[in-house]
Amino acid sequence: MLSCFSCCLSGEKSRKRSLKKSIQEFKKTNSVASFANISFKSDASRRRYIAEEIEKLGKGNISAEIFTFQDLSVATQNFNLETLLGEGGFGRVYKGWIESKKMDVAVKQLDRNGFQGNREFLVEVLILSLLHHPNLVNLVGYCADGKQRILVYEYMHNGSLEDHLLNISPERKPLDWHTRMKIAEGAARGLEYLHETANPPVIYRDFKASNILLDENFNPKLSDFGLAKLGPIGGNTHVSTRVMGTYGYCAPEYASTGQLTTKSDVYSFGVVFLEIITGRRVIDTSKPNEEQNLITWAQPLFKDKKKFHLMADQLLEGNYPEKALYQALAIAAMCLQEEASIRPLISDVVTALEYLSGGKSAAETCEDEEQQEEDDGGQT
């Protein structure tokens, strides 16, 4: 099965894998690190520090706007429940309209008694202010009036991947195979940007279907960066931190030791990618005991090619290329390796997914390369 993954990558042998150009706004590593970990004595100092530090770091490069609570009350019709898009442990998200910008927005009002505290709020404002990529959600602005902690994002018309994959309402059409692969590739590109372009790298730490938002064309964008951590720098191999994230998506070595690397995100990607392929939640207590944990259920099936079709989402009704299913499962299996060092880099995953989302199988790519080599040999 692993040969499928190798074949997906073979087309990139001649391409030099250098890190992309570091983001200009993200050069001051020490400032970023201190801002992410600082503690405050009073709410007033927190509010003042947020505005001052973002202004200092941004130097005109940060486009996030500072909103007043009144601004956002008007935008959401006083946080009217009819504008509620969703809620969770972090608080509630409302749909709003910013008249001055003539745009729809998603307004995330953090629960003052909830899990996501001031540190998480600061990290999210900073990361989304300094890092910009087509597969990361755009931060329009924020509000830190009094005890309010509110984030304002671009509005994503198709909600989350979870809405279309795991919480499908009767009126929604299931995602087809091509759209699923397109979403997987885009989400992987978002992680690739965080891991290999951001300097220092950023470990997302909360990769799951509900945090992958979809625009009107089902292009994915990663959201909710409150748990993100700056990755190891210098000679360090990992960062140590208390275990956070969502049960079922955490890499085993991170869950057991608290040691976090970019390969921890790769594992989480593998979990979500398997959800995309199967249409099953990673943890589903409504299923029979042996099927409640998606990874445990899938492991023996990975070893038997004759059973691969059993892992495809039944809602696809068999409408998928058989070879593409094999290759997708190979990618998922590699990402879900118990040993972190064996998992691929996310850039390798992106390369493999390019073929799946582009409609060209890895097998066809290998055949093309072999033919090209023959042609080249014939010309010498």
| SS3 state at 326 | helix
Q: How far apart are CA 280 and CA 192, in angstroms?
A: 25
| Catalytic residue set | 206
What is the predicted pLDDT for the residue at 262? 92
- Could you report how far apart the first and last alpha carbons of the chain are, in Å? 35
Q: How far apart are CA 287 and CA 61, in angstroms?
A: 50
Could you tell me the CA-to-CA distances from 148 to 10, 52, 143, 285 in Å, in that order?
51, 17, 7, 36
Residue in the block written with tokens 């989400």: 187
> Does domain 158-363 match CATH 1.10.510.10?
yes
Would you give the distance in Å from CA 276 to the centre of its chain?
A: 13
Q: Which CATH class is domain 27-154?
A: alpha beta
R_g of the chain, CA atoms, integer Å: 22
In 3D space, the residue among 359, 136, 178, 343 whose CA is nearest the CA of residue 276 turns out to be 178
Return the structure tokens found at 309: 């079709």
Q: Do the annotations mark residue 307 as ligand-binding?
A: no
- 110, 150 contact by CB (below 8 A): yes
In 3D space, the residue among 69, 39, 32, 70 whose CA is nearest the CA of residue 54 turns out to be 32
State pTM to two decimals. Answer: 0.80
| SS3 state at 105 | strand
What is the predicted pLDDT for the residue at 12? 45
Q: How far apart are CA 142 and CA 105, in angstroms?
A: 12
Domain ranges of the chain: 27-154, 158-363
What is the predicted pLDDT for the residue at 146? 82
Q: How far apart are CA 108 and CA 106, in angstroms?
A: 6
Q: How far apart are CA 180 and CA 178, in angstroms?
A: 5
Q: How far apart are CA 218 and CA 297, in angstroms?
A: 29
The single-letter code of the amino acid at 153 is: Y
What is the predicted pLDDT for the residue at 1? 64
What is the predicted pLDDT for the residue at 18? 35
The single-letter code of the amino acid at 115 is: F
pLDDT along the chain (380 residues), means of 10: 60 39 40 45 58 58 81 95 84 93 93 64 80 93 88 94 90 93 97 92 92 96 84 60 75 86 95 98 94 96 93 95 95 96 96 79 50 55
| Cross-strand pairs, 220 | 214
What is the predicted pLDDT for the residue at 29? 43
